[in-house]
């Protein structure tokens, strides 16, 4: 039994065994095993140092991307929003004016999503905001008082990693947004469960989703399900309203 020593740390133990009816290890063999243990410990130490260097590089890139998003992208979106706000009152056609105001609302949502992404970039994968908090935040941002909303969480949401949490947040954001802006719904039931997979189910009592809206607004959710190895369905229910289901296996 030989320790794998790296500086002042024991990285592991090398155990060599022989059956009871065989000769004990010779001094030469023991020296060879000791040399191998030293080399293995050195390799572990180098691999650990390389991993730490990669983590530093990743964190540096995260900070740079976050700065670029804040300093350039968000500021340009703000400028576009201000331009649209100035143009909307001068639009003579009501439909055009409403379209401009709708685009302004979309810009505000995009800015908020980018800000959330910046927060997660600064936080890193191990400290990103928990899934339940993120979903609650989406509901608070998008749901309106006239829409009676119920939410049920089941299972250990804390085990969901950042990648799947991003998917679940995008699914819920799209579903709630559609219920508020297009479906004319009065009630919304949200069920998020975690077992062997992450499941998001959203039901509203609105007018349903037309084919155009489904293709334009929900295409990315189908792609997210494919990327995560999961499933996605959205359908108009016979009694009225929309049923949206999205699931992906835990990573």
- Is 96 in the same domain as 142? no
| 139 and 112 part of one domain | no
The answer on 187 and 73 residing in a single domain is: no
Are 180 and 124 in a shared domain? Answer: no
Q: What is the pTM of this model?
A: 0.51
- State the residue range of the domain holding 72: 1-128
The answer on 110 and 165 residing in a single domain is: no
User: Both 85 and 134 in a single domain?
Assistant: no
Give the pLDDT confidence of 146-169 residue by residue, as tens digits. Answer: 888 899 998 888 888 888 999 999
**Same domain, yes or no: 115 and 155:** no
Considering the domain architecture, whether residues 93 and 188 belong to the same structural domain is answered as: no
- Which CATH number do you get for residue 233? 3.30.565.10
Select the more confidently predicted residue: 63 or 132: 132
Based on the fold, state whether residues 12 and 47 are members of the same structural domain.
Answer: yes
Q: Quick: pLDDT tens for 31-75.
A: 888 888 888 888 888 888 888 888 788 778 878 888 888 888 888
Please tell me the total count of domains within the chain. 2
pLDDT at position 181 is 77
Q: Are residues 160 and 114 in the same domain?
A: no
Residues 117 and 184 in one domain: no
* CA nearest neighbour of 191 among 160, 154, 220, 163: 154
Of 128, 163, 189, the residue at which a domain comes to its end is 128
CA distance 167 to 185: 24
Whether residue 138 sits in one domain with residue 16: no
Say which range, 14-18, 117-121, 170-174, 235-239, has the weakest mean pLDDT: 117-121
């Amino acid at each position: 039994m030989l320790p794998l020593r790296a500086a002042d740390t024991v990285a592991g133990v090398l155990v060599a065994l022989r059956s009871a009816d065989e000769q004990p290890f010779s001094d030469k063999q023991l020296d060879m095993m000791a040399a191998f243990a030293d080399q293995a410990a050195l390799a572990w130490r180098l691999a650990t140092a390389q991993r730490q260097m990669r983590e530093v590089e990743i964190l540096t890139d995260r900070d740079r991307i976050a700065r670029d998003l804040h300093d350039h992208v968000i500021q340009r979106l703000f400028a576009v929003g201000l331009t649209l706000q100035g143009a909307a009152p001068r639009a003579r056609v009501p439909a055009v004016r409403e379209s401009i105001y709708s685009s302004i609302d979309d810009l505000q949502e995009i800015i908020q999503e980018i800000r959330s992404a910046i927060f997660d970039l600064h936080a890193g994968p191990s400290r990103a905001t928990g899934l339940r908090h993120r979903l609650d935040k989406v509901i608070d941002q998008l749901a309106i008082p006239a829409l009676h909303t119920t939410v049920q969480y089941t299972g250990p949401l804390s085990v969901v990693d950042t990648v799947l949490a991003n998917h679940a947040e995008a699914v819920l954001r799209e579903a709630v947004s559609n219920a508020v802006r297009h479906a004319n719904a009065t009630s919304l039931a949200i069920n998020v469960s975690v077992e062997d997979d992450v499941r998001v189910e959203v039901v509203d009592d609105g007018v349903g989703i037309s084919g155009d809206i489904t293709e334009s607004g929900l295409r990315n959710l189908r792609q997210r399900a494919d990327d995560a190895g999961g499933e996605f369905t959205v359908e108009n229910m016979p009694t009225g309203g929309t049923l949206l289901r999205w699931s992906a296996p835990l990573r």
